[in-house]
A and B are shown apart, each in its own frame.
Chain A
Amino acid sequence: MINNIQLNKSNFDELSKSCVIKNGTIIDPHNEKEYLSDIKIINGIISEINESITTGPDDLIIDAKGKYISPGFMDMHVHLREPGYEQAETLITGSNAAMSGGFTRLALMPNTTPCVDNIFVYNDICRRTENLLVNIHQIPAVTVGREGKSLVEMAELNDNGALAFSDDGDGIQSSEAMKGALQYSGMFNVPILVHEEDKTFLDGVMNESFVSTELGMSGIPNIAESSMIARDIEISRYVDGYPHFQHISTQESVKLIREAKKEGLKVSSEVTPHHFSLTDEKVKTFSTDYKMNPPLRTQEDVDEILKGLQDGTIDVIASDHAPHTPEKKNVEFDYAPFGVLGLETLFSVGVTYLVNTNVLSLVEYLKKITINPRKILNLDYDLINVGKMAELTIFDISSEWKVDRRKLLSKSLNTCYHDETLDGQVQVVINNSKIYKR
């Protein structure tokens, strides 16, 4: 197996003091505008947005002809495995993968070893991620050790910049713990990001469906997810908390969240690219690249998810980037860990399966990977303005590329799009006075 050679080297450069992006089309999801314009950046700050900016000899010129300039993408559901499982990914290799996928901002899940359940681990990760092109927001756990019992010191973590809390891979089983978490976090108006799964159902390795029947595999039924979403909608109504439903995968989940939103409850949701582009039929290959939790579901589930993306039930597309080493993945299906890569393919899978199939317009699609995650996490989302830090992603919507797992910048290889040709490719990413070029 070939891993990335530049294992722990950041792949960005410092941005020149003065730089001009020429001839590109600005696409601004917040103001729903699309227009031809140049952008001048001085010391990392947008200093001018104009149709034709004259350039001097000292200006770095980035030619964006035929390309779009968007607010930098944000992925609010990522596992970078540091500390504890650096064989699979590190903060540096993961942020390289993020840049390559067009992301300027990530929210990291706390299922590391040690777990991010206190201010000391939290601060350490913040310190390790200073001075990168990508802004990294570590999400602390909801409960100590992600055990679903005692709440972490949320107020202190919130004071120190924590944007939300999540026990991620471990759905919070105790209703009392979830009630407490939603009530307590509601004080600072931050969401609880929830992986919804009732673990009192039997353990499964794939979707429970006709396919699991044919393959003789143990299944995870749709209701393991949707029944917990129903519970947490009820709890949030009762305590006035804010659950954000992570990586929803079932038609029932979409319908429950749609109704909760109609009622005016404070809820939001995300979906991963694999849950809107693939079905459990893929498991027939027995490839562990299709083993993830929640599992790939049926075409009926995918169809409802696409409706949910269209009508706004689903706010965000997030990768659930979950690197695993080949040693861990290249084993019998039952023994392999759950999880697939996502950072480097998310944008293109969305273009291929949502924009180019007319499920979403480009601007509606970009909302779900730029401004919506920032809104949920209370970050600035009106980014394309003079005086703002230049946090931009330049991409070519018409170019296509073939995914080769060996060429990804992630330290791991477990993508479920290997060898697939995808549309749309990120070219340049600018943030924090730094630049990444493909």
Chain B
Amino acid sequence: MDNIKTKDLLKIKHLLGIKGMCREDLELILKTSASFKQILDTPNKKVAALKGITVVNMFFENSTRTKLSFEMAEKRLSADVVNFAASSSSLKKGETLIDTARNIEAMKIDMVVMRHSTPGAHKMLLDNLDSVIINAGDGAHEHPTQAILDLMTIDEKIPDLRGKRVTLVGDIIHSRVAMSNIHALQLYGAKVQLCGPATLIPKGIEKLGVEVTYDLEEAIKNSDVMNILRIQLERHVGPSFPSLREYHNFWGITNEKLSKAKNDILILHPGPMNRGVEIDDDVADGDHQVILEQVLNGVASRMAILYLLSANIGGIK
């Protein structure tokens, strides 16, 4: 813990999205994440940084790994953790989000981690609560902690991202991971490319300064990093998506297609993976992937985010 100094403060007071963040904040989070990662490698794995602090995980949408990762991070920091899921929630009885959140806050909590299907739902918490708010995904808007763990994973392998091309492959239009990744990667000077069928690329996204291609083979040739987004099996087949078979044939990552890639290409996947759809077994378990490293970095970076933002508990210090 020696190199984690409380005098280093983030400019943000809550983590709602990567958009609007500055590079210095991301650098501080990554630096702190690296320290926590070292702690995760020790036998004890636990620090007392958030002792006495209560964190509520409010998940209004299904999530396995993000929720688990946050809970793990909170427990490693010795926080008291309360979980609240939509299926067991009072929302089903007709209570509003604001009432639910105020009720929970009245029980004296300090930080709220929320996943919600509606973009901007966190703004309602911000307007109505005094707690520190962390966005664990809001609709197809932002998923900032995913972008930070992805950035951390890339940064470990490629310390200087300037001029490097990072390609996000697949379902961009329904992806909160994509938007947060674009903003984070651009802050680090990467060239961001999007690749997928035209029906999964949202309108006007080039205005963010990204390249768009429908041709995976071309993207594979020119990329230094590829982040393979998950195809949501239940969502797509219909007017904008012919079949998983066709998707796999044209946009699925296979070792054969990767043979044209740069030797040191990095393959990321935010999980959970659909093996045989967007990624083949031999890639998912292959030499280029850093997928389990992402999972570990997810815990470390969420620890860092919780720890750094905890400086704002009880008002801005």
Contact = CB atoms under 8 A, between A and B. Distances in A.
A217 B204 contact: no
Nearest to B124: A332
A213 B205 contact: yes
18 contacts: A210-B207, A213-B203, A213-B204, A215-B120, A216-B138, A216-B139, A216-B176, A216-B179, A217-B139, A286-B123, A330-B96, A331-B97, A332-B120, A333-B118, A333-B119, A333-B120, A333-B121, A334-B119
B203 A212 contact: yes
A213 B174 CA distance: 10
Interface string B177-197: 001000000000000000000
B71 to A, nearest CB: 24
Contact of A334 (B139, B176, B202, B207): B139
Nearest to B176: A216
A219 interface: yes
B275 to A, nearest CB: 27
Contact of B141 (A209, A210, A215, A335): A215
Interface in A290-338: 327, 330-335
B204 A209 contact: yes
A214 B173 CA distance: 10
A117 interface: no
A344 interface: no
A332 B98 CA distance: 9
B118 A332 contact: yes
A334 B118 contact: yes
Interface string B268-293: 00000000000000000000000000
B120 A210 contact: no
B203 A216 contact: no
Nearest to B207: A210
A217 B203 contact: no
Contacts of A208: 203
A214 B20 CA distance: 12
Given A217-B139, A332-B118, A209 B97 contact: no
B74 interface: no
A425 to B, nearest CB: 31
A216 B177 CA distance: 11
Nearest to B96: A331
Q: Range of interface residues on chain A?
A: 10 to 19
Interface string A211-241: 0111111010100000000000000000000
Given A208-B203, A210-B204, A334-B139, A216 B96 contact: no
Contact of A215 (B119, B173, B203, B205): B119
B144 to A, nearest CB: 13
Q: Which 8 A-B pairs have the closest CB atoms?
A: A286-B120, A210-B204, A216-B140, A216-B141, A332-B118, A213-B202, A334-B118, A286-B123
Contacts of B120: 215, 286, 332-333
Interface in A185-214: 208-210, 212-214
Interface in B79-128: 96-98, 116-121, 123-124
A216 B119 contact: yes
A335 B118 contact: yes
B179 A219 contact: no
A286 B128 CA distance: 14
B142 interface: yes
Contacts of B124: 286, 332
A342 B208 CA distance: 35
A331 B124 CA distance: 8
Interface string A276-290: 000000000010000
Nearest to B120: A286
Contact of B116 (A213, A330, A332): A332
A214 B123 CA distance: 16
A56 to B, nearest CB: 59
Contacts of B173: 213
A217 B141 contact: yes
Contact of A330 (B98, B123, B179): B98
Contact of B117 (A219, A286, A334): A334
A318 to B, nearest CB: 29
Most chain A CB within a 10 A radius of its CB, from B142, B179, B203, B207: B203
Nearest to A286: B120
A85 B140 CA distance: 33
Most chain A CB within a 10 A radius of its CB, from B19, B118, B121, B179: B118
B63 to A, nearest CB: 16
Contacts of A214: 19, 179, 208
A334 B121 CA distance: 9
Most chain B CB within a 10 A radius of its CB, from A208, A217, A219, A221: A217
Contacts of B142: 216
Nearest to A334: B118
Most chain B CB within a 10 A radius of its CB, from A212, A213, A215: A213
Given A330-B98, A334-B139, A286 B119 contact: yes
Nearest to A208: B203
Interface string B201-243: 0111101100000000000000000000000000000000000
B227 to A, nearest CB: 17
Interface in A152-195: none
A335 B95 CA distance: 13
A209 B123 contact: no
Contacts of A327: 96
A214 B116 CA distance: 17
A295 B245 CA distance: 37
A210 B203 contact: yes
Most chain B CB within a 10 A radius of its CB, from A219, A327, A330: A330
